[in-house]
Structure 1
Amino acid sequence: MKSQKLTDVAAGRSRWYDDACGTAHALELVGERWSLLILRELMFGARRFSELRRALPGISANVLTQRLVGLEQAGLLVRRLLPSPANVAVYELTPWGYEAEEPIKVLGRWAVRSPDHDPTLPLSAASLMMSFRTMFDAGRAAGLEAVIGFDLGAADRFVATIGQGAIAVVRGDCASAGLRLTGTPEQVGAIVYGGAAAQDVGVRVDGDAPLLARFAQLFPLPEKAGIAPGAAAQ
């Protein structure tokens, strides 16, 4: 065991719990502050260091560097250099890293049931798109076939394709989408999760405007968790 711990330290990996449970090891892999959010930002493809910092304004450059190194050492992401003329380093998830989407979605859906969750706080473009993947209700989308584009600024453009009771969201040009929404992630989120009207929050709507009302109903938030009697006193 001592030899293994020394090997882990040399490889730059943390061993916090000395516990064989998979949940404990998951926390050792992604339990440090910002780690899961970095994975979330990379779920839609490779990102530059500057793009990650812009999406996570509360993180310092030093901490972001540390987390990227740690996630790379854990095998969850890789750093690669874009070919000329870009010659810029980007970070992208490994196939195993992409598998973290499911636990991230499950954790997010569980957490929004907290009475303390505040959907009006700032969120990134990737966070909004991940919420669509997480909260999508296949039953409400029955019979709907649609392509919806989102221009969320700063090169954050996405296309959501809905069909056969499923949703696919990818980064991409939204010019040819049947419905196009232009605004900030918070503004679009206010429409979908807050019931706001597009004109009231400053979202530009192009194309099939009536589709927006149907789209906004596809992502119901789960009921808040009740507090068991006596729980507050424990």
Structure 2
Amino acid sequence: MKLAEIVPWGRSGEEYRRMFNLTDADLGKRILGVGDGPASFNAEQITAGGSVVSIDPIYAFSAQEIEKRVEATYYTVIENVQKEEAQYNWTIFQNTDELGKERMKAMNQFLTDYETGKQQGRYLAYALPNLPFPDQSFELALCSHLLFLYSDHLSEAFHQTAIQELMRVANEVRIFPLISLAGSPSPHLSPVLAACEANYIQAEIVNVPYHFQKGAYQMLQLSRTA
């Protein structure tokens, strides 16, 4: 992966709590964050005494390199959101200025924690669909803004393999959102649900208290039934 192809965009711990409908009990579990990028969830959880390992290819780069890339792409991201304002619900954030301020706050918190977290093994440059962890290494895996969202770029086969891998390394998996970048339902969701049933995976679509991108208010919650 080339850093010049990455657009870092980090979300806060509060956004994670709402996106994944996380309870205090959930936050006390051994958590795997998939595709976390420059989110502050890991840093916030560690400060609160939690246990989180985040994986993302961007972690192959240094804090300084990621920070420079954030600076290079930040205003382009904000401009794109401004052009597509009608695709978002402006209740969590009042406007693009507040959105940018909160996301930059989260990314700066990540950057402050990043190098220490790498040394502690909390930020690892791994990616789906193949993970190096032993079976059931985690109690909960959270996949944010990757599967289903990038349905035009990631095939159905990739989704199926990735979900099987997540279910191998974690007791429970939660995926958010379930729509594509265009805001339409992911074409991979129905075949994924069918495959889960065939593989004794309990799959439930759950409404969550987070609805920024219009149509993105549901997560997929997966657990083993046998």
Q: Which has the larger radius of gyration?
A: 1
With the length of structure 1 as denominator, give the TM-score of the two structures.
0.26
With the length of structure 2 as denominator, give the TM-score of the two structures.
0.27
Using CA pairs under 8 Å that are at least 6 residues apart, name the structure with larger relative contact order, 1 or 2: 2
